Amino acid sequence: MEEYRKSSSPQGPASPLDWTNGLLLLHSCPPPLDQHLLRLLGHSAVSSSQRNRKSPLNAAGLQQLPSRLIQYPAAPSKGRITVTTEDLACLGSGEFLNDVIIDFYLKYLVVEGVGGPVADRSHIFSSFFYKQLSRRRAAGDDSTTSVPDRDMRHQRVKTWTRNVDIFTKDFLFVPVNQEAHWFLVLICFPGLEEVQYQEFQSPTGGSERAAGNSSAFSLRSQQPPQCTQQGWQRDSVLKRPCILVMDSLKLSYHENVCRLLRDYLQVEWAVRRGTPRHFSSDSMKSCRCKVPQQDNSSDCGLYLLQYAHSFLQNPVVHFELPLRLGSWFPRQLVRQKREEIRALILRMSQTQSRQPLP
């Protein structure tokens, strides 16, 4: 029987999962204990066989090292991502996607122009961006105690956008991993300071426009309209600065993530624009979108990638919050994604193996 033990983090609970609902979900799962949910709850399940598990050995008894499959984009492009056989293995059934696969596929979507003009108006951060942004100060570091936390965090990641002005982009994709759980945060219209409303035809045939701040009047039907381009019916809010959270596990919470991202935007704006701007929860609202949910504990990374893929292909055009995207794509699309990405990497590997090394 597996040993069930509580994590003893000195910082207290850091889990993104609601404790009470999480336990109900955990106990409803058949044995063995679900590793992913345990990690989200701040626990771990460790068996003696897992403690003694070692890396694969070759015939000579030496640990096998992962071999390189591809570099993407191909040389001489900058910012290349190296995918190895070890990375490919995490695309196996029931495995958790690692940061390399997440970064590779997100970059592939943008470089290959999936979604056309939407990709050109977007910037995708590396999966390491939020990890570095949210890292705590080193214990005993007294040299920077006078520097505000938001400025310290910005210092760690300021070079990541030195060649791009993120405030000229409409959409910023931020992959986040918390307690081994992946979800997507989408920052919309970071350079916009006010909500923009779209003109529409009133029931009397005249033209009306809702203008001003976010509390301005807007017409809404009894049933909320579809908010994507393909399902568009009638808009009131055309654009708004906001943070959309797309999470395939509905028990997670994200307020701290949104707060850190607002702090980052505030400092980045001051650096780029040379003027102050306060990114508050009122001026840049956050919203947990109603999106398709995973039905197991291992596909969160795949759902993150599909959220990004679907947004680029069928972007949101209606920004009246909360967004309802529950029918955005069928679950079968996610189930096919492991093999889709695996086949893509192997095709690229075959192509690159026929080319001379840089």
Q: What is the 3-state secondary structure (H, E, C) of the chain?
A: CCEEEECCCCCCCCCCECHHHHHHHHHHCCCCCCHHHHHHCCEEEECHHHHCCCCCECCCCCECCCCEEEEECCCCCCCCEEEEHHHHHCCCCCCCCCHHHHHHHHHHHHHCCCCCHHHHCEEECCHHHHHHHCCCCCCCCCCCCCCCHHHHHHHHHHHHHCCCCHHHCCEEEEEEEECCEEEEEEEECCCCCCCEECCEECCCCCEECCCCCCCCCCCCCCCCCECECCCECCCCEEECCEEEEECCCCCECCHHHHHHHHHHHHHHHHHHHCCCCCCCCCCCEEEECECCCCCCCCCHHHHHHHHHHHHHHCCECCCCCCCECCCCCCHHHHHCHHHHHHHHHHHHHHHHHCCCCC
* CA pair distance 121, 124, nearest whole angstrom: 10
The residues annotated with a catalytic role in the active site are: 181, 247, 300
Q: Among candidates 89, 82, 81, 83, which has minimal Cα distance to 55?
A: 89
* CA pair distance 159, 187, nearest whole angstrom: 19
